[in-house]
Structure 1
Amino acid sequence: MPASELSAEDIAARLSAAGLTTRMEQHRHHTSIEAEVPDDFTADSWREVLDAVARADRFGLSASNVDGRVLWAAVRKAVPATGDVRGPGHQR
C-alpha cells in the first residue's frame, strides 16, 4: 500500500477516534478525507483533530448554513517515478 494511502487512512482513523464520522474519496492526484464537526465539539477534541489533519498536505474547515461545519484534509498521491511528472503533452 502506498505511503500516501496509509497516511490518509491514518488521518481518517484519528478523526474517527476523536468521535467524527469520516468520508474518504479517491481523486486522480489526491485522497480527500471529510468529517462533519458538531457544534458542541470540545476544545480537547479540536486539538486531537487538528493534530491529525496537520499530517495532510492541505486541510481546512468549511462552514455553511446548509452543510454545517465540515473539516477536510487532502493527501497527495505519490509523484510518478518516471520523467512524466508534468502530464501528457508536456513530456521532455
Structure 2
Amino acid sequence: MPSPEARADGIAAELSATGFAPRLQHHDDRIEMEMEVPSSVSAESWQELLRLLARADWFGLVSSEKYGRTAWAGVRKNAPATIQAVRGHGHQL
C-alpha cells in the first residue's frame, strides 16, 4: 500500500492532469488538498473529479455565490485504530 504522501501526491497529479489546480497542505495527522472548480465544468470532468476525490479518505464540495465552488479532500497519515474511528459514533439499524 502506498504511503499517505504518495497517495496524496498521486491524487494531486491526476487532478492536475485533468485540468484542476490542487493545493496541498501537510499537517501532523493528515494531508489536505483543495482546488477551485470552475462553473463551466463538463460532465466528464465532474465524473473524473469525483472519481479522484473518492480515492482520498474524505472529500467534499463547498459552493457559494460569493466565493464560487471549492472541492477538498483529505488523506490520513495514520490509519485509525478501529473501524469505529472511521465510521464515527452512531447507531446501526
Cα distance in 2 between the residues matched to 1:35 and 1:58: 15
Runs of 5+ in structure 2 lacking a partner?
80-93
Tell me the alpha carbon deviations over residues 56-88 of structure 1, each in whole angstroms, 9 at most, x when there is no partner. Answer: 000000112232100000000025xxxxxxxxx
Residue 77, structure 1, aligned to residue 73, structure 2: no
Residue 32, structure 1, aligned to residue 32, structure 2: yes
Residue 20, structure 1, aligned to residue 20, structure 2: yes
Deviating above 2 A after TM superposition, structure 1's stretches of 4 or more consecutive aligned residues are none
TM-score (norm 1): 0.79
Cα distance in 2 between the residues matched to 1:29 and 1:67: 28
Equivalent position of 1:62 in the other structure: 62
Cα distance in 2 between the residues matched to 1:47 and 1:64: 21
Percentage of pairs with the same residue: 46
Cα distance in 2 between the residues matched to 1:55 and 1:14: 11
Runs of 5+ in structure 1 lacking a partner?
80-92
CA contact (8 A) 1:21 1:36 kept: yes
Equivalent position of 2:5 in the other structure: 5
Tell me the alpha carbon deviations over residues 7-33 of structure 1, each in whole angstroms, 9 at most, x when there is no partner. Answer: 001111111111111100011210001
